Chain A
Amino acid sequence: MTVLATIVDTSALLKVVVYSLAAVVGVTVAVSLAILGATRFADMRADERPLEATAFAILTALALAASIGSAALGVAVMLSK
């Protein structure tokens, strides 16, 4: 087991685990919030509640920006090596 740990670059492997998990959790939360925001925005607008509708529109915009930004960040990190 010790020999295996010596041969295998556990630090790099751990980084793969952490980066992948963080990226997917982040993107999933962002996209899900964008869907939630867009749906609630439509509901609130239909109910003529402009304040809540605006809040959900902002949530949608921020979540979309985070989704696209995280994808761009992923590519930028790859290009930086």
Chain B
Amino acid sequence: MDSDVVLVIVVATALAFDFTNGFHDTANVVATVISTRALPPRVAVGLAAILNFAGAFISLAVAATVAKGIVEADLITPTIVFAGLIGAITWNLTTWYFGLPSSSSHALIGGVVGSALVAEGTAAINGDGLLSKVMVPALVAPLLAFVIAGTAIVIAYRITGRMRPGNVNRGYRLGQMLSGGMLALSHGTNDAQKTMGIITLALIAHGDIAADNFHVPFWVVASSATAIALGTYVGGWRIIRTLGTRIIKMDAAQGFAAQSSGAAVILASSHFGYPLSTTHTISGAVMGAGAAKRLSAVRWGVAGNIVAAWILTLPAAGAIGAACYGLTRIFGTGALGPLVVSVLALGLVAALFGKRLRHATPPPPPPPLPVAEVER
């Protein structure tokens, strides 16, 4: 009975994480579209939500990696998964509060690895999987997106550079609808699958699915898709502002290049089962599109803050996940620990939202015309 209660709490917490993932990562998908005025903010967010939902149904390779490739599924208990999720949510909300686009994916993986490490020791961690499926792609993806976006913008300027800016901007804004759609789809594909993987891991730990007969039940796919789509729709305006206007001032061609590069890297990585950080990838692409035009176009100070959040995410979420597991175990191995920690987590969420609401600013108006566009 106790284990059933814990499983229900884990599933609810995982879906809550998925919601915060969509909420937190809205910026990745819509910032460039809004920054270049290709779409109005509400339309961009609505479209992103729909395509995130659709994207979640495309593939299950990443879910398999999260469920089987990073921790030893046989040694994991639902309580370990729960503590990892709380670690990830706490870190996600903290970085959201400070307007930093850190990685929800790395928060999730860090949280689960941290709690598994405290609970079962190093035997519970698949070090090779963690290195090859998480750490190396974490380094490669943003650099790759940076280089590809830089290449794309050079090609775009080479072909259309001598034409009237008005026509060019209108054309790339139309192109951004295609590339932005692909980015939203790729985001749903990669990020929703992480939650599917975590819920499936909990189902394996609970004994509902055999570890050697991995499959993701349809209700897990559908509920994860819905949660990420809802989170995306509700959106995160603070992060939209950070990513959309504070890293670089973009023109439509740069927005198109950044979105296309982000979408291509995420889709290709999803195909091979890499649980990539969509935040890292699109941030790298945005910087690449800016740096290829002019190195000083990138606000490196803001970019540096984002990099610092990236570096901190895995260990910080891991530490919080480990602490949550310790706290949960104070109340024994039953359902009481997860219940108490859930209540504490809800209190933290309410406090953070309350504080944000007290200092609330209205959603930002559409950003001013990008500098590069005015100059042209």
Contact = CB atoms under 8 A, between A and B. Distances in A.
Interface of A: 4, 7-9, 12-13, 15-17, 19-21, 23-25, 27-29, 31-36, 38-39, 42, 67-68, 71, 74-75, 77-79, 81
Contacts of A21: 148, 151, 264
Contact of A77 (B260, B263, B271): B271
Contact of B144 (A9, A12, A20, A28): A20
A32 B128 CA distance: 42
Contacts of A28: 152, 155-156, 256-257, 260
Contact of A20 (B58, B137, B168, B265): B265
Interface string B116-129: 00000000000010
B260 A35 contact: no
Contacts of B269: 16
Given A7-B128, A31-B172, A71-B178, A39 B167 contact: yes
Contacts, number: 120
12 contacts: A12-B272, A13-B136, A16-B274, A17-B144, A20-B265, A21-B148, A28-B256, A32-B155, A32-B159, A35-B167, A79-B59, A81-B271
B1 interface: no
A6 B320 CA distance: 32
Interface residues of B, number: 45
Nearest to B135: A8
Main secondary structure of the interface of A (DSSP, over half): helix
Contact of A32 (B61, B131, B156): B156
B268 A15 contact: yes
Contacts of A35: 159-160, 163, 167-168, 171-172, 175
B131 A7 contact: yes
Contact of B271 (A9, A31, A42, A78): A78
Nearest to A77: B271
B260 A8 contact: no
Contacts of A31: 156, 171-172, 175, 178, 256
B140 interface: yes
Interface in B167-181: 167-168, 171-172, 175, 178-179, 181
B155 A75 contact: no
A16 B148 contact: no
A74 B185 CA distance: 11
Contacts of B272: 9, 12-13, 15-16
Closest 6 CB pairs of A and B: A35-B171, A32-B159, A20-B264, A31-B175, A28-B152, A23-B264
A71 B271 CA distance: 15
A66 B39 CA distance: 23
B202 interface: no
Contacts of A24: 148-149, 151-152, 257, 260-261, 264
Residue among A23, A35, A38, A79 facing the most chain B CB atoms (10 A cut-off): A35
Interface string B186-200: 000100000000000
